[in-house]
Amino acid sequence: MLQVLKALALMNAMRKVLKISSKELAEKIGQSIQAASRKLKELEDEGLIERTLTKDGQFVVITDKGKELLYKEYLDYKRIFEGEGEFVIKGKVFSGLGEGRYYVSLEGYKKQFEEKLGFTPYPGTLNLKIPKEQMFFRAKLDEMEGIKIEGFKTKERTFGDVKAFRCRVNGIEGAIVIPQRTHYPKDVIEIIAPVKLRDVLGLKDGDWVEVEVIV
């Protein structure tokens, strides 16, 4: 019934008396004329619409009860989608190669982290290994633009761009950083934060961590 009620609402039956034949409704909902006619009768019996049959045709309007049902459905979808800008990636803590401490401490990156992310990162990263079943959301990071931390040059070498995403780990604000050049495979993410996450959260290798990505 909800499908039919929604179809009627999309035809403006909440705001005006709508003239509609069972054939028209059947085409809208992709069902037979008989099924459309039956569903209109059911909506009427439930008090969700008011229906009038005359020699000029069939007229329907959605009642207050029908509006309430649609509004409840709207609130359910709102709860589903209002957090769509955020998602969670789960990974297992492991000890990295020690590169994070070096790169995070470089002034060329550090200054941009402070300006663009709003915090001075602890010199090091929390490294997470992402299991296969979580790779859908890990792959999303590659597709998304993120916050660009620009590369730079020194006398010795060139450092590539880094893509960053704001995140939370157990309520602590931080950022996932994805270097343009990295020795890590795609199933690894590195996280920076203003504190040493391992110590503050009491983490050790093998612990599972949920990272809330804020986009």
| Residue 195, marked binder | yes
DSSP label of 132: G
Ligand-binding site membership of 118 (annotated): no
Tell whether 197 is in a known binding site. yes
Q: What is the mean pLDDT of residues 111-134?
A: 94
Q: Is 79 annotated as a binding residue?
A: no
28 is in an annotated binding site: no
Beta strands at 162-169 and 147-149: parallel, antiparallel or unpaired: antiparallel
Q: Please give the class, per CATH, of domain 1-68.
A: mainly alpha
Q: What is the pLDDT of residues 11-27, one digit of tens each?
A: 999 999 999 999 999 99
Range(s) within the chain of domains with CATH label 2.40.30.30: 85-214
The fourth-level CATH superfamily of domain 85-214 is: Riboflavin kinase-like (2.40.30.30)
For residues 53-81, average pLDDT: 91
pTM confidence score: 0.65
H or E element that contains 71 = helix 64-81
Residue 125, annotated as binding a ligand:
yes
For the chain, the C-alpha Rg in angstroms (whole number) is: 28
**pLDDT for 84 beyond 60:** no
According to CATH, where is 1.10.10.10 located in the chain?
1-68
**Could you report the per-residue pLDDT of 152-209, keeping only the tens digit for each?**
988 888 889 999 999 999 999 999 999 887 777 889 999 999 999 999 999 999 999 9
Does the annotation flag 174 for ligand binding?
Answer: no
